[in-house]
Structure formats: structure tokens, C-alpha cells
Structure 1
Amino acid sequence: MTVHSKINPALVDWSGRNGLPQFDQVRDEDFAAAFDAALSLHDAEILAISGNPEAPSFDNTITALEIAGDELSRISALFWNRAGAHTNEVVQALEREIAPKMSRHYSQIAMNEALFARVDALWEQRDALDLTLEQTRVLERHWKGFVRAGAKLSRDQQERLATINETLAGLGARFGQNVLADEKNWSLILTAEEELAGLPSFLRDAMASAARDRGAAEGSYAVTLSRSIIEPFLTFSSRRDLREQAFAAWVTRGANGGETDNIGIVRETLALRFEKAQLLGYDNFAAYKLDDTMAKTPANVNGLLMKVWAKARTRALEEEASLAGLMAEEGINGPVQPWDWRHYAEKLRERMFDFSESELKPYLQLEKIIEACFDVANRLFGVTLTEVKGVPAYHPDVRVFEVRDQDGTLKAMFLGDYFARSSKRSGAWMSSFQSQHRLTLKNGAEGELPIIYNVCNFAKPAEGKPALLSLDDARTLFHEFGHGLHGMLSDVTYPSVSGTGVSRDFVELPSQLYEHWLTVPDILTRYAVHEKTGEPMPKALLDKVLAAHTFNAGFNTVEFTSSALVDMAFHTRGPVEDPMAVQAEVLEEIGMPSSIVMRHATPHFQHVFSGDGYSAGYYSYMWSEVLDADAFAAFEESGNPFDPVMARKLKNNIYSVGGAIDPEEAYLAFRGKLPDPEAMLKKRGLAVMAELAGSDG
């Protein structure tokens, strides 16, 4: 393509292997000028579409919008990847500048009256346009996008909405950076043997590596706020005082006062979101966000959450009583504290099921679990992933894979970024540099290959040792790869409905469903092999792992559901003066056990406040879980977890169609019926509450 003089060609002319970006030729300093140039180029394309003297048609308006802004999309993909997975002060400063600038740019497009008039005219005559189902969905997405962005408002209202969106973008960038700063700046350095009491060797190795990365003296061990270290430390450390100290740092991220405090950002964000919803004619922000989802209304969301909450809380209180009994045996009387739960839950699991996390971990090597992920994809969908060495990526730890179909056709490129580092935000996610589609681009290219990446935060092992995962880590790997497959298997014409371009409460179905195959006995037997001997996990241990799959279900569900209920409470009311008071009020109303905290407290709830992707939408993991439990039951009913008929239906109706058809219709085409929440409650071990409550079990 012809590249604007202010754009480093490597940012937009991706000439690496199979169309990968040439990451090693991109510098942080390239982005500022490139964004300015690309925004101008996109403006020119939008003006050409809106000013087209020909009558609006699907091709000259909707298709033209679909392929416009290619340079901006490529630069953005590279930049936001860097901002999340390998950031620094230069990138963070630019992020604070770019986020509101991008918001203003897209607001201006929404305010282009001539452009909306063309889209609106097509929408009004859609039944006479002889559109395919996918084209109708694409047209609907564009029309609704304009309306939800304020196209029908007065000019003054549009300007106010643009200002709100611009401010929100800046607040979201600052929120995420503050959490990362608190995580990066805190560590607990341990040097004495008594401080390491109870810690297994895999965790000591990870903590020693983290200490070296932070420049600590030789022989030091660092507790960090990466989940891959903090959670096992809270699980295994025998030092209650150190667990309390580490836990306090973990749960107060974003709430430590000073420059990184997020409380004020949350207050301003909630006020602006409410104002935005009111401008657009909605009662509150949750009503606005849910209008375009499967759930539709806050009442439907809260109905599901409270049904689950009642069962989860009862189970959690039973679990708490059992933990208090274990503590009393050790001479610790008094209530179970949040920094006690994981430690004594692990002891209880070991007693009930006769295995511990540390016994399981040597069988869960990162390399083998990656192989398991790829094998499941091959057996279900016929794709093969092969690593290609020597291809530059955006960090030396990132691995590059080619994805090919059964006939050898290249389907996608996949990048895996698995290890924690201080330049990477916490958590795990999937994203794309490029989405699949079949349109002809302005440079003449026919369609594009999906370029998908997964980011995780597993503890990096010592040199020469394998990375060992917890069972939760392994599930995370499968989960994110499930998202990845949603992008890699996409087979649509238009980019806006490609891959994960579906409603928020449907997007988690392919990822959460994929987790089920981790614990298929054939997969564990084949890939859960001991790091030293190579022997498969003994059947006795495998049986115990499978038997324990709903252990601690009350705790896990309370952690999640409380976070989702607080999210909904924030977004179903008006401006909030004291967010922490509202959080406390909601938790008191629902009877939150004092021994458990929200999985994501408000000041570090990045799903909700670092951008608005999951705002009024954290519930969607559970909504999708209703679907995934029922979907996997279809394979169980067939008697074969790799049943080829069901796998073909799954690929054709869920993984490959993206947002090209309505999610309910997609699910019905796969399953033949809509799901009932009971399958999800059964999966979590909560459906049999009544029977368990009356027994010793």
C-alpha cells in the first residue's frame, strides 16, 4: 500500500511471515505521528462516503465503511497490544493522549449527518434490498451503532455526548495504568527460611525468579501481586501474618491514596455514564448497555444472579464452618478471615479428596497443556497448530504458530504470550491484530487472515525448569484459547461480525465451553504427565481431581456473583458520591460472608472501569456459563466428548459464524433448544444444594 509519509511503513504494511507485522521495526516513538496521519486518512475516507453523489447502496455505504480506516486499525492494533502487554512510560503517556483523541474521532463520525442519512435510508428500505442474512446483520449493526452513538440527538446533545465519551476514554486509560502501577510497585521480599514455611518448590522457584526480575539480592524470594504468585502464596504459606500482609496489598490495589488512587475516577466515570444513558433516552447505563444483548434488561440479569447467589451463599457458609473447624484444630479460634480461606480450603481438599494442589502441579506443565489445547482443536475442528521459530514478535517470550486446516490451507496465525512481567497488565485475555473477512481492500487484497493472540500471566520458571500450572491456570489457558479459536475459525464476509464480534453475553460461550475439554479423562491422561518422570497422572489422582471439581463452589461463586451484583448496582442508579459506600451497602444487602471478598473490588475492577467493555456486563460470564454447561451436555449425551456430528454443528453454528446471525438462532441451530440455568447450577455443584444440606457431604 502507499504509506503516508508520517507513518512508519512497518506499522501498516505488514510484510512479515504470512502477513504478520514486523514487530522488530516498530518503535514507541512512531505512534504519535502515525495516529495523527491515520486519523486524517480515515476522516478523508468518511467524507468520501458521506459525500458520495450516488444514491446510497449497501456497497457504496456499508461495505465502504467496513473497509475504511485500514491504516488506523493496524496502528491501533499494534499500539493497544503494546499498551496492555508490554508497556512503558512513553506508551502510557501516549495512551492517556490517544484514548480521548480516538473517542473524539469516532464521535465526529457519529455526528456526520450526511453519513447517518445514508445508513438510515438503507435501514428504512432494508426489506427491499435483497440482502443476505449476514448483510442484514451488518446493516443493523451500523445503524444501531450510529443511533447508540447519538446520531438522532440535537447538535448540542451530540457535542455533550462526544465530550462525555472523550472524558470516559481518558478515565479508563488512567484507571488501568493506576492498577498496573500498584501491582508493579509492591512486592514482599522474603529471605529467611521461616518466612517460606509451607511453600512448595514450584512456588519458591517462581518467587526467586520474580525477586531477580526486581533486582533483589541473591537468595531472595518475592511475593508479587500477579495472580500466578499471590494466589498460591495465600494457598500454601503457613505464615498467617505474611498472608494477611500480602492479601491487604492485593485487595487495596487502586485504593492506596495518592496518584494511583482510583476512587475519584470511579465516581466521575459513573456520573458520566449515567448522563450518557439519559442523553440517549435510557433510565440508566445498565439499560443502555443491555439493550443490545441476550439478557436485554437489568431485571433479567439480577434475576439470574440472585437465583445463583442464594444457593452459593448457603454453600459458602457451610464451607466456612468446615474451615473454621480446621483452624480450631490448629488452635486458631475466631472467624475465618479472607486471607485464611485459600490456605484452609487447600487443607480441607487434601483431607476430603486425599490430594493437594502441590501434588497435582507437577503433572500440569505449561508446554503439555498447550499441546492439549491444540490437540482438542484438532480433534474437534480439524485444525493443526505448528510453531514457527525465529519469527520476531512483540516480546521475546511470545511464541508464533501457524494454524492450518485439514487440507493444509493456512487458516490463521496465532501468538501465545504466557508469562507474567512488570510491563504487562494482570489477568488473561485474547485479542487480534487482524480479523478474518472476505472483502476486497483498497490495496486490492482479497480478504484477510485472522492474526490472533492470547495473553496470560503465568509465573516464569527458573532457567531450565518447566513452567508448572495450577488447575485454575490450565483452565485459563483453555479459556483464552477458546476465545482464540472463535477468532481463528471465523468464516464470514464482513469484518464487523467476524470472530468475537458478537453480543457481550454471548462472547464468553466459546471460551467457557472450551474449558470443559481440559478435564475430559482422555486429555488429562494423555497430557497431564509428570515433569520429571513423564509418567501420566495416576488414575487414582485423576479420579480425585474429577471428583473434586465442585469443591469450594460456594467460595468461587460468591466471589464472582458479588462482583457482578455490585457492577449492576452501580449502573442501575444515578451518580454515586461514595462508590465504596455503595459497594459496602450492596454487599450488606445480599449478606456477603465476611470471610470472602469480591473477586474484583471496585478500585481495581478493570473489567468495568478500565474502559467500558464489561461495564454492566460482568454478569455475562455467568450468562454464557448457562449456555456452555448446556452445550457440553450435548457432547455428554452423545457419549463422546469429540462426537464428530456435534463438533461439526458447534463449528458451523458457534465458532465460525461470529455475529453474522442472531446469537439465540445460532445456539438453537447448534443445540435445538435454549438452555435452562439448572445445567449451570449442576456444573457448579449448586443444583443439589437441598440434598447436600441434609447430609454429611
Structure 2
Amino acid sequence: MNPELIRWTGPEGLPRFDLIADKDFAPAFDTALAQAEAAMEAIAANPAAPDFDNTLAAMELAEEPLNRVLSIFYTLAAVDSNDLRQSLQRDFAPRLAAYGSKTGMDPRLYARVRAVAEGADTLEPQDARITTLALRDLTRSGAGLEGAARQRMTEIRGRMAELTTQFSQNVLADERDFVLPVADDRLDGLPDWLIRAMRAAAKERGLQGQVVTLNRSLIVPFLEHATDRALREVAFRAWAARGSGQGANGAETDNLPIAAEILSLRHERAQLLGYEDFAAWKLEPEMAGSAERVEDLLRQVWDAARRRAGDDEARLAAMLHADGVNDRLQPWDWRLYAERLRKETHDFDAARIKPYLTLDAMLGAVFDVANRLFGLEFQPLRAPLWADDVRAWKVTRDGRLMAIFVGDYFARPSKRSGAWCSALQVQHRIGQGQRPIVVNVCNFTPPEQAGAPAFLSWDDARTLFHEFGHATHHILSDVKWPSISGTSVAQDFVELPSQLYEHWLEQPQVLDAHARHCQTGEPLPADLRDRLLAAGKADAGFSTTEYLESALVDLAFHRGQPPADVMARQSAILGALSAPGAIPMRHATPHFAHIFSGDSYASGYYSYMWSEVMDADAFAAFEETGDIFDPATARRLEETILSRGGSLPADELWIAFRERMPGVEALLRGRGLN
């Protein structure tokens, strides 16, 4: 085994990515998996009476070498995929599933954890917490199953690992392989910065001229500005077709049968465990608790969003017809006319703010907010990472090293789409303890040439703040055990820190300090700033509706019998909602990676809005003091939520911070839907 995969020797404990080759992963995986299997077997077969130390504490440490190998591998597979890494993913997935089945369904481990759990009230609080969670997870994994049911559960887990991996790879292939050349005489309406980004995308692919790709930071502004309706339609249809069998790779990347089989297997798994359906199984440990509570929240917001979207649709259709287009408003029209309406209503042109929203300026804002709230300081760290444009920082407080933060911000053809936060290693206090190494990944349009500023859209800036909100959850974590560290919380609670952090981007004092012109250094003019903030709510009907469509489809897919024809079921759900035809789902079924690339957000896409109810109310706690950086409120946020990880149930963490449960009023007000 390449020792660098286990004992990281880079600056401040980072892995030396320059010393790791793809050929190292298979032997390292074999060795680390065998070590984990041996460690778990030793715990299960231990002849000594079960106690916390020889069972739960031992389980927390048993997979450490495997986790280190996989954290490096899956980071690279997501940010810089290649054929070998994809092949290794397909090889690793069923083997990891088999290992998960073996350990998660081991009756000996189950018996030992149950025995410790019977005396959990005598344990230290965090020891008792991981014991309770381990028993819950083993029970929900099927450790209590026997005979044929047990064998079938093992088969389902293995098959699911194969399917979810293939789903992700199909979406990536269709995103990577679509390129739409745009001739010089068809650039009407496109701002200069976007044309430069399209030329950079062409150059990156060895092409001349300018192209549109399915990178969100490119296709969304193209749809907002391109006056060539035919080109907009081609680009939008390609974006919508990812994974449908009609995408860039045709039937080769058809995800529809994969999605149908995943839904069927999830339903079967839930029923094997005694649940009515997958939604009932998935939501049992979440803050929401039941599908009924989730649907109640979503429909409260749906009615307000649908009314606003209907009003906007009528206005945009009138603008389309005024342009001489004798057609209904289509999905590829909405963004163009919404942007025009925003300009007319608020005298606001998004292109005017681009020079003020450089990546470096917005990183300065992100770090400044973290400093003013939590006293964190950031120093650049030179380290060999996986690409030259990936950056790292040391995060300190009062001179003490808290974490290492890594940012990979620019799109590349080999990178998975979207944005996310992960951890190469999580914080814990076992032995000498371990500092977190946190990674934020985005897909912003890179600068046209090296050394030039990278410009962000307002949505890009919001994404930057969002993902760093997740990072604070890791950086400020202060718990004993890795299994409850950082973002290891209920799925519908995990988005609270990230969405809460977004609020500071919208504050005038933050923008005044950091949104400065890339050439002159002048601050964003106050009147432009105010129009920007007002315009931010202008299309709330669209953004809320497209999100809710996806959340309600996800929930319906996992309630009752699974559909044989997923697209027919999707259409029926949207039809029952009277969803606007010009506003498709944010993530249609064939590329709905949140719910089909793994179980994390399956029957849980609602969690963004569930968390938004809390983040709106949490930011109100700062506003009520008259100081958005109020030290006492920031300290309470850190002490009750950000440092606690999953050491308590989510509702207890929330009550400790806010002393009451939130309602939807602040959310509706924040979105301008009240």
C-alpha cells in the first residue's frame, strides 16, 4: 500500500496528492477493507462481556484506515473523474455494500450494542448518544432480520450500490459530452463576460469560437440573456435531457430504468424492516418525523409560491407575445423574460454587478463574516493538491489551529456538477484528537486567462456562502466521537448552518466592505446594491415553485407502491399540483442525483425548506438584537448548534438556541411570498 493514503504527510496533515497515483487505490482499498473487516470481526467475536470500551469505542476506531483511503478516492472521483476512477467506483461500490451488510446486520454486534444500550443511562452523555445511535442504525439496517429476509436485504444493498453509482456516472457523462457551438452572428443579448466564459469553455475543450456547456454557471446566464430563441431551446432541452436516454449519449446513459429499480428496491427494503414504505422508514429518525408533517409544510408554501408564479407567468407571456412570438411561454423563455422584468421593475442589470463580485472579493467576505461571528482567521497554505487552481487555508482562533479549509471553485469537464461540502477528515477528541480538513467544491466559470479575476453571479456568491456555512459546522465541531462530528446530524437539520450563513451575504455592511470593483476598488454603489437586494426576490415564485416540485415528487415517489413508469408518475404528481408548464422541476427524475445517487436526500429533498424555516428564524435572533454580528447570539449559536454535531437530537439543539420551535412566517417573508 502507498503509505501516503493512510499516513498523510503534507503541510498541516494534508494528504500529499502529488505522491498518490490512481494505481495505488485498488491495493490500498483491498488492504484497508480487510483491516476494517478484521477489526469489526474482533469486536463481534470478543469473548469478554460487552461494555462501552470494547464495543462502541472500538467500533468508532475500527474503520479509520478505510475511511482515510476512501475520503481521498471519492474526493478525486468527484472533482476530477476519469475512466479508471469510474471503473474503480463501480468495483468498490458492491464490495462496500457487502461489507456494510455484513457489519450492519451482524447479530453478534447487534447483541453487544443492545447489551451496552441497556445501561446507557450510566454512561457519559456523548457515550450514551453514540450507543443509542448505533443501536438505532443496526436495527434500521436489518440486524434483527433472519433467514431469507436477511439474505434478501444483503442482495438489495449490493444492487443499490451498483445502481446509484451508475446513475451518477450517467449524469456526469451527459453533462460532460454536450457542447453547443454558438456562431459569432448568434451572440445577440449575451454580455461580454459571458461570451468570454463561453470562449474559455471552448478553448478548454480544444475548440474554436464559443460554446455553451451544461455547467450551471454557464447555461443559466445563457438562458437569461440569449435572444436567439432556437438556441435557448436546444440548450435547455439538452440540460433537461441529462440521464433521460435522450441526452448527449443517448440510450447508453438512460437513467429511467435505474431510477425505477432503485425506488422498487427501497420500498422492498423498508417493508422487510416492517415499515409501510420507504418514506416512513427514512423520516422516522429525522426532525420532521413523518411524511404527513413534511407534506403539510411543503403545501403551506406551495400555495403562496404557485400564486406568485402564476402572476409572473402571465406577465412574462405578455412580454413574449409583445416580441412577436406566437407561442406559449416555454421553460427556455422564462429566465430571459424574468431577467428583463427584473431590469424594468428594479432598474437592475445583473451584468453591472459582475465587476464587484470577484471570487477573491467574495472569499474575503466569507472569511470576514466568520471572523466577526466566531473569531476565525484564515492564512493561505501552500500544499500539493489535486489541481493547480485548488487553494487551502489554515483556520485559527486565538492562535490555535482549528482546521484546514480547502476550496476547489472552478468547473472542469471531469468534475461532478453542483456544489458541495465534504471532509477529508472530521474532528474528534479521541486520544490526541483530530482537526477537521474541510473541502468546499463549486463549479464557477474560470477566468479566461490565468491571473485574471474570476467573476461570480449573485447565485454563485450565494453558493459560496452556503457551502462555507456547511464548513463552519465542521470547523467549529467540538465533540468526542467521529460518528457525531460536524454535519453528522439529522438530514433535515444539516442545511440549517449553510442556509443561515447565506443571510450575511445580503447585508449592506458586508457588501459595502467587500463588493468592490475589480479595477477601481470602488465599493458597490448603494443604489445598485439596494436594487440588487430588491431584485433578489423578484423571481421568488419561480425559484420556490421549481424547488417544491422536486421536493413533492421525491416525497410522492417514496410513499406507497413505487411506480413502474417513473416519468408517468412524475407527470401525474405535477399535474395534480397544477404546476406551471413553463416551470419544470429543478431536478427532473433522470438527473435527480440528490435522491438517486444515494439515500442521503431520498425522501429528504424537503430538508432544504425544513431547514429554511429554521434559518430564517435563526437569523431573526441576530436581527432582534440590533446587531447582525451580535457576539452573545453568535456564541450561543456556536455553543448550542455548530459545536455540538449530532451529540443531541436536532429538536433539542434548536430549542437550546431559540427556546421555541419556528413557524413558516419568517420563511415566507424572507422569500417575499407573504
| TM-score bin, normalised by smaller chain | over 0.9
Instruction: Describe how 1:17-28 pairs up with structure 2 within 5 A.
Output: 17-28=11-22
Instruction: Give distance in 2, aligned partners of 1:53 and 1:275.
Output: 36
Instruction: Describe how 1:324-473 pairs up with structure 2 within 5 A.
Output: 324-389=317-382, 391-405=383-397, 407-440=398-431, 446-463=432-449, 464-473=451-460
Instruction: Give distance in 1, aligned partners of 2:178 and 2:266.
Output: 32
Q: Say which SS state the counterpart of residue 206 (structure 1) adopts.
A: helix
Structure 2 counterpart of 1:694: none
Q: Say which SS state the counterpart of residue 385 (structure 1) adopts.
A: strand
How far off is 1:133 after superposition?
2.1
Q: Say which SS state the counterpart of residue 40 (structure 1) adopts.
A: helix
Structure 2 counterpart of 1:692: none
Amino acid at match of 1:117: A
Q: Does 1:8 align with 2:2?
A: yes
1:497 pairs with one of 477, 484, 489: 484
Q: Say which SS state the counterpart of residue 645 (structure 2) adopts.
A: coil
Structure 1 counterpart of 2:302: 309
Instruction: Give distance in 2, aligned partners of 1:221 and 1:10.
Output: 41
Instruction: Describe how 1:225-240 pairs up with structure 2 within 5 A.
Output: 225-240=214-229
Q: Does 1:167 align with 2:159?
A: yes
Instruction: Give distance in 1, aligned partners of 2:539 and 2:241.
Output: 24
How far off is 1:333 after superposition?
3.7
Conserved 8 A contact 2:306-2:579: yes
Report % sequence identity: 51
Conserved 8 A contact 2:547-2:585: yes
Structure 2 counterpart of 1:124: 118
Structure 2 counterpart of 1:176: 168
Instruction: Give distance in 2, aligned partners of 1:169 and 1:417.
Output: 27
Q: Does 1:102 align with 2:96?
A: yes
Instruction: Give distance in 2, aligned partners of 1:473 and 1:427.
Output: 11
Structure 2 counterpart of 1:627: 614
Structure 1 counterpart of 2:546: 559
Instruction: Describe how 1:132-143 pairs up with structure 2 within 5 A.
Output: 132-143=124-135
Q: Say which SS state the counterpart of residue 401 (structure 1) adopts.
A: strand
Structure 1, residues 52-101: CA drift from partner, whole Å, max 9, x if none? Answer: 22211111111110111111000010111111111100000110111111
Amino acid at match of 1:31: F
2:672 pairs with one of 685, 688, 694: 685
Structure 2 counterpart of 1:45: 39
Instruction: Give distance in 2, aligned partners of 1:450 and 1:359.
Output: 38
Q: Say which SS state the counterpart of residue 344 (structure 1) adopts.
A: helix
Instruction: Give distance in 2, aligned partners of 1:63 and 1:454.
Output: 30
Structure 1 counterpart of 2:85: 91
Amino acid at match of 1:325: A
Q: Which deviates more, 42-51 or 550-559?
A: 42-51
Instruction: Give distance in 1, aligned partners of 2:473 and 2:285.
Output: 20
Structure 2 counterpart of 1:68: 62
Structure 2 counterpart of 1:521: 508
Instruction: Give distance in 2, aligned partners of 1:549 and 1:480.
Output: 19
Q: Say which SS state the counterpart of residue 371 (structure 1) adopts.
A: helix
Instruction: Describe how 1:230-269 pairs up with structure 2 within 5 A.
Output: 230-255=219-244, 256=246, 257-269=250-262
Q: Say which SS state the counterpart of residue 438 (structure 2) adopts.
A: strand
1:570 pairs with one of 550, 557, 565: 557
Amino acid at match of 1:433: L
Conserved 8 A contact 2:348-2:535: no
Q: Say which SS state the counterpart of residue 645 (structure 1) adopts.
A: helix
Structure 1, residues 346-394: CA drift from partner, whole Å, max 9, x if none? Answer: 10000010011111222111110011000000000011111113x1012
Structure 1, residues 424-483: CA drift from partner, whole Å, max 9, x if none? Answer: 01000000010000112xxxxx11110000000000111142111111110000000000
Instruction: Give distance in 2, aligned partners of 1:125 and 1:491.
Output: 25
Structure 2 counterpart of 1:295: 288
Q: Does 1:507 align with 2:494?
A: yes
Instruction: Give distance in 2, aligned partners of 1:600 and 1:550.
Output: 21
Structure 2 counterpart of 1:673: 660
Structure 2 counterpart of 1:209: 200
Structure 2 counterpart of 1:113: 107
How far off is 1:238 after superposition?
1.0
Instruction: Give distance in 2, aligned partners of 1:605 and 1:284.
Output: 20
Instruction: Give distance in 1, aligned partners of 2:547 and 2:321.
Output: 28
Instruction: Give distance in 2, aligned partners of 1:661 and 1:110.
Output: 22
Amino acid at match of 1:416: G
Aligned residues: 669
How far off is 1:328 after superposition?
2.7
Q: Which deviates more, 545-554 or 13-22?
A: 545-554
Conserved 8 A contact 2:283-2:603: yes
What's the TM-score, normalizing by structure 2? 0.98
Structure 1, residues 563-613: CA drift from partner, whole Å, max 9, x if none? Answer: 000001110022321000000000000001011110000000000001111
Structure 1, residues 28-64: CA drift from partner, whole Å, max 9, x if none? Answer: 1111111111111111111111122221111111111
Structure 1, residues 480-514: CA drift from partner, whole Å, max 9, x if none? Answer: 00001101110000000000000000000000000
Structure 1, residues 264-313: CA drift from partner, whole Å, max 9, x if none? Answer: 10011111010000001111011111011001111111111111111111
1:272 pairs with one of 265, 277, 283: 265
Structure 1 counterpart of 2:147: 155
Structure 1, residues 212-239: CA drift from partner, whole Å, max 9, x if none? Answer: 111112xx10100000000000001111
Amino acid at match of 2:34: S
Q: Say which SS state the counterpart of residue 534 (structure 1) adopts.
A: coil
Instruction: Give distance in 2, aligned partners of 1:245 and 1:631.
Output: 42
Amino acid at match of 1:176: S
Amino acid at match of 2:551: A
Instruction: Give distance in 2, aligned partners of 1:394 and 1:166.
Output: 30
Q: Does 1:477 align with 2:469?
A: no
Instruction: Give distance in 1, aligned partners of 2:259 and 2:645.
Output: 33
User: Unmatched 5+ residue regions in structure 1?
Assistant: 1-6, 441-445, 688-697
Instruction: Give distance in 2, aligned partners of 1:155 and 1:81.
Output: 37
Instruction: Give distance in 1, aligned partners of 2:269 and 2:103.
Output: 17
1:615 pairs with one of 589, 593, 602: 602
Structure 1, residues 99-142: CA drift from partner, whole Å, max 9, x if none? Answer: 11101101101232221111011112222xx2222222111111
Structure 2 counterpart of 1:543: 530
What's the TM-score, normalizing by structure 1? 0.95
Instruction: Give distance in 2, aligned partners of 1:580 and 1:516.
Output: 36
User: Unmatched 5+ residue regions in structure 2?
Assistant: none
